Amino acid sequence: MDSKITAILQECSRASDEERITFPKVVAALAVAGVERYHTDLVRAETTYYFPDGTTERVETRPAALPPATDFSAESVESAVRAIQAGTIRYGGFCERVLRAGCAGWTVSILGRRVVYYGRSGDSHTEWFPGAR
């Protein structure tokens, strides 16, 4: 992996954890770096970035303060998404809210312009990027 690309991935993860960057800016930076999708596992505290040639890069993230709830609530996940989009919460608050909603992680498809949030039992909720549908 190119060291410049690795530095971008690490900075996007760190800047998210430190609440210095918004989701749209993360997606834009990752797209320029050639990332086509990424998976954030809240339980393992890591994000894996996927490239078109099949290579991947894993970056550790800030550990979650609590485990995901057993029951998944798509409505509560959607509410957390709307709150962070509106700027009423930041990334740390978002992570806490989705964990309480039973979210164990998410997959962001930059190519597909969507995020799929999933729970411990496999339940999921899809959020489309603004203007993607």
pLDDT tens digits, 42-67: 999 999 999 999 999 999 999 998 99
How many C-beta atoms surround the C-beta of residue 4 within 10 A? 8
pLDDT digits (tens, 9 = 90+) for 1-39: 688 999 999 999 999 999 999 999 999 999 999 999 999
**Distance in angstroms (rounded) separating the CA atoms of residues 75 and 43:** 21
User: What whole-number percentage of the chain has pLDDT above 90?
Assistant: 94
- Top-level class of domain 3-128: alpha beta
> 79 pLDDT exceeds 80?
yes
> Residue 100 in 3-state DSSP?
helix
How many C-beta atoms surround the C-beta of residue 124 within 10 A? 15
The mean pLDDT value for 92-108 works out to 97
* Domain assignments of the chain as residue spans, ordered by start: 3-128
Tokens 């962070």, residue located: 84
| pLDDT of 29 | 96
> Residue 104 in 3-state DSSP?
strand
